[in-house]
Amino acid sequence: MTDSPSTVSDVMTHTAVAVGRHAAYKEIVELMDQWKVSALPVVEGDGRVIGVVSEADLLPKEEFRTDAPTLGEGARPDLWKAGAVTAGELMSSPAVTVHPGATVAEAARIMARRRVKRLPVVDRVGMLEGVVSRSDLLKVFLRTDEDLAEDVRRHVLADLPAAVGVEVSVTDGVVTLSGELRDRRLVPLLAKAVRAVEGVVDIRVDLTGSAARPAQRGRED
């Protein structure tokens, strides 16, 4: 069985394209077009990430192309970026990053909360190790149905003695649990464990069984 991809290091792009602080505006646009990416880490020294320059950082130059912005005190950030010509002037800093040991779910939450499409992957001292994108995170859903079913059997059901009568089938990533579960009160726990398996799209429960009986008190003489 193929192990379930569970960390950023499993799915990230290890060869990351980055630019230095002094990279020119046009160079940044050319690199984005060449590598088909929407953002680039900005690094200095031996590769420490100091920021990220994205398409959103570049667009103000086009937005205000015919209307020269007034760059006075208190001007909006996008107005300042309209006059920027280097990565250091354009970048968003500090960069929103993630560590290689973070789970795929954690990376997805960071992207959603910070509204970014790509995250530089950095080590403990901020050195660039790679980049993870939204499309990278979706790789977990490329696992086969057979692989998912085996993962559920070995890493979920095998650890739950009460699920000895439960059968697993998977179609297009949707897991169906059928058969008998000795204690139906365990259904929420079982469903949560199955959903945690990387690549599961949804879960269907078709289990029979009964609620656990309360322990009987011993006879009193």
What type of residue is 112?
A
| Structure confidence at residue 6 as a pLDDT band (50, 70, 90) | confident
pLDDT tens digits for range 84-118: 999 999 999 999 999 999 999 999 999 999 999 99
pLDDT the model gives residue 79: 75
Task: Give the pLDDT band of residue 68 (cuts 50, 70, 90).
Answer: low
Residue 208 pLDDT level (bands cut at 50, 70, 90): confident
* Higher-confidence position of 193 and 6: 193
Residue 73 has pLDDT above 60, yes or no: no
Contact 171, 145 (CB under 8 A): yes
b/e 118-144 (16+ beta carbons within 10 angstroms → b): bbbbbeeebebbbbbbeebbeebeebe
Cα–Cα dist 105/111, whole Å: 10
As a whole number, mean pLDDT of residues 142-155 equals 95
177, burial (CB in 10 Å: exposed 0-12, middle 13-18, buried 19+):
buried
Please tell me the number of Cα atoms within 13 Å of 24 on its side-chain side.
Answer: 3
Is this structure's pTM higher than 0.95? no
